[in-house]
Structure 1
Amino acid sequence: MKKIVIVLLLFASVFSSAQEIKPVLKDNDLKLAAIPYYSYGKGLGITSPDSLFQLNIRFRMQNRVTFIQNDGADAAYSGEIRRLRLRFDGYVGNPHFLYVIQLSFAPGDVGEIEEGENINIIRDAAIFYRPNKHWSFLFGQTKLPGNRQRVNSSGALQLTDRSINNARFTIDRDFGFQAYYLNENKDKFSYNIKTAVTTGEGRNWTKSSDDGVALTGKLELMPFGSFKKDGTNFEGDVAREEKPKLLVSGAFSQNNLSKRTQGQLGKDLFESKTTKAVFVDAMVKYNGWAFMSAYMSRSAKDPIAYNPEDITEFNFVPVGSGMDYQLSYVFPTNYEIIGRFSTQKMHKDIQMLTPNSKQYSIGLTKYLWEHAFKLQGEVTLSDLNYFDGSNKQNWYVRFQLEIGI
């Protein structure tokens, strides 16, 4: 509780001093590190004649069809609108004070409507105070500074989905305070420091309150300078870096008394658990080539939670670790080939409840308008190894179209 009071006093001090700052940012393109969002250009913008108000409108849509063959099941296919998003951003009164709103409407985004649960239309709703190009302070709901692939927009991915390790171990959107210090330079050593103090229960949580908070910190290093066109925020070298660029980052998040199986995600636990997550990422881009590697892990003491009213009923925190490896090349014709390999090993405490996994993916993408308008094809095989020695292999073939501004 003392930590929250300290943070509130800090933000009160910052905002009180901000009243004397005059609007000096003439070209505020809203490249907010807390909400990376791939955009070719700046969307559709409206600025009032007196420059006291600005609104940018953006949308994106993912339509896909998938052929699925799961081990032991009949072949099937699905067609769906995977994502449909609207984003609004800008400033009011002073370009140092910014806002971002992102709404989702596709069934896969909103999730299944259950009695007593909130409808998850709101993805981002945050207010920023950015006194200069280095500092940013945020209050509201948005992504935490976690692993690289999660922080990247789903519209900036090379394959149609994030990896199996991201699905198991990531931290996601949360409500609270964030503070960033960004020090990026084009051709010399650069670094970013990102921190967050949040509720730990994920987006749109209103069921109950508790004394547990999530504490997150991240350090990003770019030894050879920043990437072209904010290239850390999208996969693949569509910008074709003329010099080798490298990003190395590490993040740690502790979610105290988490109420959900995956911290900000998942089903409600029968009892609260404190979890710790570690993320290490590396990204290299040069002349159309791109390589990414990531380590993710989650740990928790006594990860299995039992129903106090019926001890035969239980759920668990997915603890364990995994590695991702991803390599790609963009041809001058804007076709791209991508390969990804992921391994996932679950902790011994839950190995009887969930399998270890490997996943192999190959993709082909045609960029019509960079990541904003692209055609994607993908073949993925998942290899599942169970505690009893049995094995299952599931695979799918998918075509996806992405379009947005």
Structure 2
Amino acid sequence: MKFDTVVLGAGIVGVCVAVHLQKRGRQVALIDRKLPGNETSFGNAGLIQREGVYPYAFPRGLGTLLRYARNQSPDVRYHADAMLKTAPFLWRYWRNSHPATHAAIAKSYSTLIEHCVSEHRALAADAGASALLRPIGWIKVFRTEAAQQAEVRLAEQWHQEYGVAFGALDAARLQQMEPDLDTSLHGGLHYPEADSVSDPNALVTAYAKYFEALGGRFFIGDANTLRDAWQVDTEAGTITAGSAVVALGPWSDRVSARLGYRLPLAVKRGYHMHYAAQRGAQLNHPVLDVENGYLLAPMARGIRLTTGAEIARRDAAKTPTQLAAVEPIARTLFPLGERLDNEPWMGGRPCTPDMMPIIGPANRHQGLWFAFGHAHHGLTLGPITGRLIAEMMTGEQTLVNPQPFRVERF
């Protein structure tokens, strides 16, 4: 029960960290309370967002803020009892979303995004899971000309600054690509360099099986028992390792706080539901309804509807009001049939106020490493994060500069 490294958390980030360390000759124990890919990584939209060079910012327009304040927007909802605790985080998030600051953040963030698709494809090929990746991109759709023009301007900016490819779609071209969408749509915007995933849970599971094929071991255990040395309690007994990586997503601050780190981590919760398609209708790409803040994605189980963000206490009871609000709208966008899940799934996106993940060594403990805070891009950035952590831990030349992601910035 002695290992070189113990990785806490078997979501997409933790599994990728474990794989890359094991590939480099480390003996790795991967620990979670559930099987790999069955928490936050289970319920995302399945996008590997090569275009996502600018992380999702806090809105700064007065009209948008007033709309959110009424707490009836389909894309953002909040629990009143969570706002006081979350207010300091939201204030810092709002400040970092100033256009000049956001642009500076993107210069660092884009260095990770640049490698997201290539690193996924390489890992999927090694894991025998390439069939789960679809190199077809994804589409934003618009109901008004004003909304499309605003998004095209952003796409043009991203193209000029970072070479992000895009294609503006008029109504006729959109109808060719997605014949079963609402014919009254004004148009769309296609990001062709992104990949999508037909089953995110199956992808994480495949990566975890590859980790075990390399000689790594997975254990059901309690990450909250982590203590100096580094020791963790599991169902198979106590594991001891020379180093530990915290990759627990929205629960990472529980472990880091016990060790004396006060990190500004908040959670944006989200929901999904699967649906059948009516009358043989087919959805070819993931499709985001920009003006209503939900996404439809073709998945192995059916058409997955994912919601926007809910600001709430991490462990508060489910309140899928956003799902209830957007489902009737989604049915006008695409002919959805019956629900295929017994109840809505809910998960949490772990967020930092500067919109960038925490990747690198802890600054108070020898052998402790952090890999969390990926917000909306956990699936997107899992493999490049795993590679970056493994390169730092083994003393290799890193593919990207890790400095902007160090914990010391807080």
| TM-score, L = length of structure 1 | 0.24
| Structure whose residues are more often strand by fraction | 1
Higher helix share: 2
TM-score by length of 2: 0.24
